[in-house]
Amino acid sequence: MLKGLRRRLTLIIFVAVIAALFYDSNNRLVTETFTMSDPALPPAFQGLRIAVISDMHMASFGQGNETLFAAVRDTAPDIICVLGDVIDGTYPQDPAAAEAVKAEERQYITELFSGLVAIAPCYFVSGNHDWASGWAREMFSLMEDAGCTVLRNQYLTLERGGESIILAGVEDPNALRDMKTPEELVREIRQKLGDGYLIMLSHRNDPPEKWAKLGVSTVLCAHAHGGLIRLPFTDGLIGPGRELLPRYTSGIYEAEGTKIFVSRGLGGVRFRLLNNPQVALIELTRED
């Protein structure tokens, strides 16, 4: 009888630990700092701080996302980059129910970007779920009305201390078929702005080799949700295409002089384990 009681207690403790880990992994927001170095960075931008969030999928942290805003605010960012998939983009078949969900999404977008813009200049690139929603253009208008800059295969320069860098964003492949390719975008940037330091924003976590071929040294991306379940000696267990043991899911990766940072994101499939929602701070430096 005592042995049976011990087994039941062991099972209860095991289930409780797993439940606690699951709750923590899906609800406790963490902030992590990463350094990305490149000697080509103009001296005036040494120490530039970029807060990165992605893959919200309508996730909320605190009432009105105040916990999220506080976490971003605490990073003291110079700019904020939002790397797509703000919403899920899937709706009930009933038209009235679908419209009710879209109304919630509109309110979420307005409140989210209004809160972020109040902290620092904010830049956005689209994700696959944003386009799957069927109302991406209206969504982008809401972001712009809140004061966010939406980069749709577009670029601009950031000025600091008499020097400048280029910030560009590629549209998600789920967008228009006849849009610019990344190759065309980079070619246009080089033709018009020369070989200035370029930061590329992209939702998809493409391998660094892709960007190295285009001569882009710094890329910020997302999409992989950290591999959902993170265990030692893995880069996550499940990729965004439901592939096993994916690559490029969290952190910094390098190839041929190009570095990409992949955000773990905030929301998405409600099964994250040892993979907390993440606010990332990227610090740029000229030093190795």
Confirm if 130 and 172 have CB atoms less than 8 A apart: yes
Tokens encoding 166: 């280029």
Q: What CATH number is associated with residue 98?
A: 3.60.21.10
Tens digit of pLDDT for each residue in 147-186?
A: 999 999 999 999 999 999 999 999 999 998 889 999 999 9
User: For 200-230, what is each residue's pLDDT tens digit?
Assistant: 999 999 999 999 999 999 999 999 999 998 9
- Average pLDDT over the chain reads 92
**Dmax (CA) of the chain:** 80
Averaged pLDDT for residues 20-37: 86
Query: How would DSSP label each residue in 80-113?
Result: EEE-S--S-----SSHHHHHHHHHHHHHHHHHHH
Q: Distance between CA atoms of 100 and 142, rounded to whole angstroms?
A: 17
State pLDDT tens for residues 103-156: 999 999 999 999 999 999 999 999 999 999 999 999 999 999 999 999 999 999
| Number of domains observed in the structure of the chain | 1
Domain limits at 149?
A: 2-285
DSSP 243-285: -BS-SS-SEEEEETTEEEEE---S-SSS--BS---EEEEEEEE
- Give this prediction's pTM: 0.94
Check whether 32 has a pLDDT greater than 90: yes
